[in-house]
Structure 1
Amino acid sequence: MSEQARTSGVTVRHEPGESRWAAYDGPELAGVAVYELADDPARVVFPHTVVRDGFEGRGVGSALARAALDEVRAAGERPVEPQCPFIAGWIGKHPDYADLVV
């Protein structure tokens, strides 16, 4: 998976050591999409997405969702289980990502 993507004025980085994709506005953490790698069956579970106060309404959550799902798709190894209401809702609004869902 690519290490980072620039979207909506923030830089989104995959931080596998933290099990998250993180959005940065310069050096400041703007939000995270947390994930878990489940094995039975194999899938990427998104339990939680958080956008910090002051960054809401600026597309940070959408940038996180798009970058994370694009990287999961590129890896092609695991389907997605969107437990997080934000990720589930984002996929619902972007049906071209529905094929990733378990």
Structure 2
Amino acid sequence: MPAEPTIDRSRVEVQHEPALSRYTVWLDDRNVGLLDYVTTGREIRFTHSEVDPAERGQGLASILTEFALDDVRARTDLPVVPACPYVDDWIDAHAEYQDLLTRGR
């Protein structure tokens, strides 16, 4: 199961970089992780996530994934395809995000 955040969220910032089809997570002004996606006319496919090995275990990937999914929910009606195993596991562990998998179909 994905790690729940244990870090002081005031030290964390998440940014959406649409030109790169990517969300990034920053810790104390350092880029420490990313979540890549591909948007088609029919879906948003999350393809890859990673967090700096030195910063793992604090829940940064969870914060990043939650932000990205909330952003997708707010700005589009497309379904999410969690091709990245971490995102797939995260959605499985958070029932309130299950609807993103089937909406718009």
TM-score, with length taken from structure 2:
0.84
Match of 1:64 in 2: 64
1:2-81 to structure 2, matched below 5 A, reads: 8=9, 9-39=11-41, 42-81=42-81
Q: What is the Cα deviation at residue 98 of structure 1? A: 0.4
Structure 1: runs of 5+ lacking an equivalent: 1-6
Q: List structure 1 runs of 4+ shifted beyond 6 angstroms.
A: none
> Counterpart of 2:43 in 1: which secondary structure?
strand
- What is the CA–CA distance in structure 2 between the aligned matches of 1:76 and 1:34, rounded to whole Å? 17
Match of 2:88 in 1: 88
> Counterpart of 2:54 in 1: which secondary structure?
coil
CA RMSD of aligned residues (A): 1.3
TM-score, with length taken from structure 1:
0.86
Structure in which a larger fraction of residues adopt helix: 2
- What is the CA–CA distance in structure 1 between the aligned matches of 2:92 and 2:47, rounded to whole Å? 16
- What is the CA–CA distance in structure 2 between the aligned matches of 1:76 and 1:27, rounded to whole Å? 29
Superposed CA deviations along residues 34-91 of structure 1, whole A, max 9, x for unmatched, are 000022xx11100100011211011110011100000011113311000000000000
> Counterpart of 1:100 in 2: which secondary structure?
helix
Structure 2: runs of 5+ lacking an equivalent: 1-7
* Structure with larger RCO (C-alpha < 8 A, sep 6+): 2
Q: What is the Cα deviation at residue 10 of structure 1? A: 1.3
